[in-house]
Amino acid sequence: MPTKIPGLRLLTVLLGVYAVVWIALEGQLLRVLFLGMGVTVVGLGWGVQRWLGGRVLPLAGWLLLWTGLGLVLGVGSGGLTLFFMALKTGLHAHGPEFTPLQIAWVVQRTPFWGLLGLLLGLGLALVLGGVAAPEVAETPGSHGSHGSPAGEPETPHEAGSPNE
């Protein structure tokens, strides 16, 4: 994991500006969904940078981490969207900003977003793990798929067994 996530501070500032503008605007479902997902992404980014920055993870840990982050992103986005919907409704001095149908729509989709996030996180981990795998195989002292360190065959089959 990188020690610092590039652009995270800028993304945080832009999201803060968006949140200030969002408070002043009338409630619209797409805007609040964007805010809920944005806060979740930025929060996860800061958490990963804080607790995992600079650490090297084995492939299994990498898969578990990204799969879990994807799940948290999906479920957290739905939960924060509902929180922001309630916050916006409570701050304005008129009727509800969001209809019960819109609120129900977010509640119903949150488990799906969690599953989608889990699968996307797993897919991303597999792709990134596959990209990093050749680097691991070619490090000095590793045997990888290149045979033994001296270039000698590792199994009798590779040396040309009598059964050939």
User: What does each C-alpha distance from 103 to 24, 39, 84, 155, 160 come to in angstroms?
Assistant: 20, 19, 11, 63, 69
107: tokens are: 């509640």
Structure tokens given for 61: 């840990």
Enter the tokens of residue 65. Answer: 């981490």
Q: Give the model's pLDDT for residue 57.
A: 87
What's phi and psi for 121, nearest 5 deg?
A: -65, -45
Measure CA 47 to chain center: 11
pLDDT tens digits, residue range 48-73? 999 999 898 898 999 999 999 999 99
Residue 81 has pLDDT above 50, yes or no: yes
Buried residues in 49-62 as b, exposed as e (16+ CB within 10 A):
beeeeeeeeeeeeb
Question: From CA 68, how far away is CA 131, in angstroms rounded?
Answer: 20
* Cβ atoms of 117 and 71 closer than 8 Å: yes
* Digit-coded pLDDT (tens) for 89-139: 888 777 888 999 999 999 999 999 999 999 999 999 999 888 876 554 455
pLDDT of residue 156: 52
Displacement of CA 120 from its chain's centroid (Å): 8
Buried b (16+ CB within 10 A) or exposed e, 77-106: bbbbbbebbeebeeeeeeeebbeeebbeeb
pTM: 0.77
What is the distance between the alpha carbons of residues 19 and 129, in angstroms, rounded to a whole number? 35
